[in-house]
């Protein structure tokens, strides 16, 4: 299967969707702009992913690393780092199949969902390493919160995205890396 990446016109829209999602999640969890830097995460699209960060079965994959791969920390301090690996090809395939879905609201939903996970992991509200039943419960909890936060926002095309995700729950996969 060919893995299509976001094109040059879609990347600025992705950046916009990330900004919207960060605002929504930040408002809900009371995270100021300066406090976001304490949540050590990055969001990358397919062109920036290594082979082990790619999946064909989810819209995103959250990887947990002991520290940012390019960061050199002093002493024995290890800072947990989360990488949200957007799966462009899976997202684009869904958008091509479901023509009523729009790019920005679809990405806002996915990124909001992933950021909620990251905040919950970082605040120890949910363990990253969990049994399958706990992961399913966490997914349902995060989907519910994502829907609640997004249905209050005036984002053109979000209604279709919310309907879509009420029928299609799995969004992501979690993996831990050293």
Q: For the segment 43-83, what is each residue's pLDDT rounded down to a tens digit?
A: 999 999 999 999 999 999 999 886 555 555 444 445 678 89
Q: H-helix or E-strand containing 122?
A: helix 103-122
The mean pLDDT value of the chain amounts to: 86
Question: Model confidence over 83-122: pLDDT tens digits?
Answer: 999 999 999 999 999 999 999 999 999 999 999 999 998 8
Buried b (16+ CB within 10 A) or exposed e, 112-134: bbbbbbbbbbbeeebebeeeeee
d(CA 73, CA 71) in angstroms, rounded, equals 6
CA dihedral 40, 3, 173, 47 (to 10 degrees): -10
């Amino acid at each position: 299967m060919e893995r299509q990446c976001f094109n040059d016109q879609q990347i600025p829209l992705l950046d916009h969707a990330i900004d919207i999602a960060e605002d929504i999640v930040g408002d809900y969890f009371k995270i100021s702009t300066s406090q976001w830097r304490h949540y050590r995460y990055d969001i990358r699209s397919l062109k920036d992913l290594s082979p082990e960060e790619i999946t064909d079965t989810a819209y995103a994959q959250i990887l947990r690393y002991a520290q940012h791969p390019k960061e050199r920390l002093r002493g024995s301090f290890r800072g947990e780092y989360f990488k949200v690996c957007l799966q462009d090809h899976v997202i684009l395939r869904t958008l091509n199949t479901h023509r009523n879905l729009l790019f920005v609201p679809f990405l806002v939903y996915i990124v909001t969902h992933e950021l909620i996970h990251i905040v919950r992991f970082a605040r120890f509200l949910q363990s990253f390493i969990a049994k399958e039943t706990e992961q399913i419960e966490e997914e349902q909890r995060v989907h519910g919160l994502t829907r609640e936060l997004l249905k209050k926002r005036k984002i053109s095309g979000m209604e279709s995205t919310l309907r879509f995700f009420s029928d299609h729950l799995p969004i992501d996969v979690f993996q831990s890396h050293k």
